[in-house]
Amino acid sequence: MIIKQYSPSKYVARMSELIERLSPQHPQYTRISKEIGAIKAGDYGEEVIYKVLEQMKIPYKCYIFHKVFLVAEFAFELDFLIITPYGVVILEVKNIIGELEFSTNPSQLIQRKEDGRITKYPCPANQLNEYKHQLSQFFLQYNISVPIHGVVIFASRNSFVKHSVSGVKIMYRNEMRSYLRHFPENSSTLSQEEMEKIKEVLLRSTYSPPSIPLIEHFSISLKDLKLGVKCESCGFIGMQKIARTWYCPTCKENNSYAHKKAVSTYFSLCKETITNKECREFLLLNNRYEAKRILSSSDLVKYGKGSNTYYTNYSSKNR
């Protein structure tokens, strides 16, 4: 039974908003582009595995979670977590193509593509072992004792594991069905009541990690961004404010509500709060009364008075 459905990373949309406002010559442009590609590849791999799980007829009752964010010794994220009568199973999904080699001392995954390029990644086996430890520490907080299993799954048909490592289950996606069907090697260790308890604990505890403004994360100055309101029709950034609407000089489109997306983008990229002055700077407005009208009508929470007024997109109760 699917308890927490597949959802792509929200980080990609935020990073895409950032990169479209950066010059390709910016020092961070290439890094951000690569991160977007890596996250999209990861999302695709997880979606492939999710569809397999969704279509499977597993011969025992189980609860399936996608993207589980928890806190134990530190915050950690599991691609998939499955609660079964025989324990819980972590699925660590990798969507990496080419010839793959697990090396030790130091532990890493080495990727060799057909064109000869070599890329090194953190070792998925080590990641999985750490996640198993963190999950055990998380369960201790709730006095839950349960066997924790784990497997690294390569989602792409174009992955070839040349050298693996001992002590960790590693497989291709076409092996997953058989693995889960034959997973119960011993008698049940969890009752239905215990499975329900674990499910409820996970539902209460999993959370969305806080969103750090991206220009802070990537050490980018506001002056490096293309400022202005984006035209959703053609993508031009710098729409002009005219009476009761926004006008795009590139495609000649009008949009009365184009500023709403721009204000949302400001919170995603720049700061958790916005002042009248910051609104004018980001939206390229000259009129402080127009900025006040936009902020007051944007479903934001207002704090302070006079020159100390600022707005945020969440209430103080959620800070």
Domain chopping of the chain, boundaries: 2-205, 227-318
Q: What is the 3-state secondary structure (H, E, C) of 98-128?
A: EEEEEECCCCEEEEECCCCCEEEEECHHHHH
User: Across the beta sheet with 240-242, what order do the strands follow?
Assistant: 240-242, 245-247, 254-255
227-318: CATH topology: Arc Repressor Mutant, subunit A (1.10.10)
Where does residue 290 rank: exposed (0-12), middle (13-18), buried (19+ CB within 10 A)? Answer: middle
Mean pLDDT for all residues in the chain: 92
Where does residue 184 rank: exposed (0-12), middle (13-18), buried (19+ CB within 10 A)? Answer: middle
Point out which residues pair with 169 in neighbouring strands: 151
| pTM assigned to the model | 0.86
Which tokens sit at 241? Answer: 């404010």
What's the confidence (pLDDT) of residue 211? 78
Residues of the chain with pLDDT under 50: 315-319
Residue 253 CA to residue 56 CA, distance in Å, equals 48
What's the confidence (pLDDT) of residue 80? 98
